[in-house]
Amino acid sequence: MAFALDIVHATICPDHSLCVETVLVSLERSSNLPGGFQVRHRTLGIYQGSAIELAFWYPSSGMPEYGLCRFATKEKAESYRTYLCSPACPEPLDEKDLTIEPYDLAAHEELINNHPLHSAWETPI
């Protein structure tokens, strides 16, 4: 697996607080499927995933080799947008800057094909 993403499902709890559920998903398995949705930030770009509580965006993160993050349903993408704008997020964003759009599989494939990940054996020291 190339990149483990923390996919967060955010909902409102019965006491009106934010309930957050984190699920690990492999980028390779879900991002290579057609359909789905992606989250775009007005200036940062398209959401790629997160690691160590940092969100990565293409092109601003400078890591095209990881491709784009695909959400299976619009509800899951909207749930993640809610999380990204909530106090539970380490760096909350402004909801006006985030949009949900159809997943661009062709763009994802172009990124990973033009910027392949090297294995640890191929990386020069």
- Predicted local distance difference test score (pLDDT) of residue 49: 87
pLDDT, tens digit (0-9, with 9 covering 90-100), for 9-57: 555 666 666 655 544 333 445 666 778 999 999 999 999 988 877 888 9
How high is the pLDDT of residue 71? 93
Query: Residue 67: its pLDDT value, please?
Result: 86
pLDDT of res. 80? 94
Predicted confidence at residue 116, as pLDDT, reads 75
Q: What is the pLDDT of residues 68-88, one digit of tens each?
A: 899 999 999 999 999 999 999
3-state secondary structure the chain: CCCEEEEEEEEECCCCCEEEEEEEEEHHHHHCCCCCEEEEECCCEEEEEEECCEEEEEECCCCHHHCCCCECCHHHHHHHHHHHCCCCCCCCCCHHHEEEEECCHHHHHHHHHHCCCCCCCCCCC
Taking only the tens place, the pLDDT of each residue in 105-120 is 989 888 888 887 765 5
pLDDT value at position 24? 35
